[in-house]
């Protein structure tokens, strides 16, 4: 029998691509640049499965392509708000993602951002590299202590829980969280975490706020001007979730006017563009969407996609089926 045709929209780790090529009839994106709308349309017509990433807008318009062959969108990543799930369901296209395997690395990066912005690590490195450092002195570049402070988590899924564990047991932080989903008492107690039903009330109590909720219409600009004001001038915002969860115009104003102490960002609306005003602010740490960017994790994500592909083409329900 002919192998299923699989099209991959970006380059993946070599070890994963080798397995893909053994198991499937694979077309790779050799230039590793985002595919255009027309290229994605053609891929939907040619492939049995398309493997997109967060950089690919799988919209309702795209999924209205005539003569589609695609039966599966096997997403490389846990988030899938770049895929119009309702349109995929309407067209009878299955969707999978890659949960679990990127949990710790993303939580590690959220803690990295928290530590960097609190201790002004980005500012310090820029000063040193520019040759401006004049030596140790008592008042030089003092930041905020992390150990023992209060961390508020918006969302309490796998990544938020991993961060709670690292922050509570590693840094003695008090953990608050806000989520719409029920959380068993034994889970809360094991992480030393306290639920807060009202988001605004939680924000007012926090020294650090870290976002771990999905993107999309339901959470767009969840963190707006009023909620940044509720955080107060000593608090820091950390975002490794999705860029559109934050109103970046309001965030830029709050950072400029020191209405919050700082921010650590790994995600942005309209990536890879970053709001230019952020680039000139010293009280924000900016990373280029590195949440899952370790060799081990990216390979594990790719292998998880392969497992989903194999399940689908062998007639089984994929373990990570979204639709």
Catalytic-labelled residue, pool 61, 125, 201, 271: 271
Q: Which long-range contacts (CB under 8 A, 24 or more apart) does 283-291 make?
A: 283/117, 283/255, 283/258, 284/117, 284/255, 285/113, 285/116, 285/117, 285/121, 285/122, 286/122, 287/109, 287/113, 289/54, 290/109, 290/266, 291/102, 291/105, 291/106, 291/109, 291/110, 291/240, 291/266, 291/267
Whether 201 is a known active-site residue: answer no
Whether 289 is a known active-site residue: answer yes
Under 8 Å between Cβ of 69 and 50: no
Q: What CA–CA distance (Å, rounded) separates 304 from 98?
A: 6
Catalytic-labelled residue, pool 69, 168, 289, 321: 289
Whether 11 is a known active-site residue: answer no
Catalytic-labelled residue, pool 120, 242, 248, 298: 242
- Other CB atoms within 10 A of residue 239 CB: 24
Coil, strand or helix at 264? strand
Catalytic residues: 242, 271, 289
């Amino acid at each position: 029998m002919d192998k299923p045709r699989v099209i991959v929209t970006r380059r993946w780790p070599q070890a994963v691509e080798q397995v893909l090529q053994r198991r499937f009839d694979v077309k790779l994106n050799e230039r590793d640049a985002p595919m255009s709308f027309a290229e994605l349309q053609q891929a939907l017509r040619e492939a049995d499965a398309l493997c997109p990433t967060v950089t690919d807008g799988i919209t309702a318009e795209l999924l209205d392509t005539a003569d589609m062959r695609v039966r599966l969108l096997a997403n490389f990543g846990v988030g899938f708000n770049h895929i119009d799930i309702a349109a995929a369901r309407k067209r009878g296209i299955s969707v999978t993602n890659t949960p679990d395997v990127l949990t710790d690395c993303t939580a590690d990066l959220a803690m990295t951002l928290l530590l960097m912005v609190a201790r002004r690590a980005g500012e310090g490195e820029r000063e040193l590299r520019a040759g401006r450092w004049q030596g140790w002195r008592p008042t030089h570049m003092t930041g905020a202590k992390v150990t023992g402070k209060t961390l508020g988590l918006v969302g309490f899924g796998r990544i938020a829980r991993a961060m709670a564990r690292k922050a509570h047991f590693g840094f003695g932080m008090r953990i608050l969280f806000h989520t719409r989903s029920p959380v068993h008492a034994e889970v809360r107690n094991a992480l030393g975490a306290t639920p807060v039903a009202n988001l605004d009330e939680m924000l007012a109590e926090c020294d650090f706020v870290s976002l771990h909720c999905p993107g999309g219409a339901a959470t767009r600009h969840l963190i707006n001007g009023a909620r940044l004001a509720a955080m107060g001038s000593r608090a820091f915002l950390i975002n490794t979730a999705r860029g559109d969860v934050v109103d970046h115009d309001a965030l830029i104003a709050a950072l400029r006017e020191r209405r919050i102490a700082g921010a650590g960002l790994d995600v942005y609306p309209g990536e890879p563009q970053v709001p230019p005003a952020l680039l000139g602010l010293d009280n924000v740490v900016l990373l280029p969407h590195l949440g899952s960017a370790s060799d081990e994790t990216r390979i594990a994500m790719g292998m998880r996609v392969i497992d989903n592909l194999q399940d689908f083409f062998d007639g089984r329900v994929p373990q990570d089926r979204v639709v």
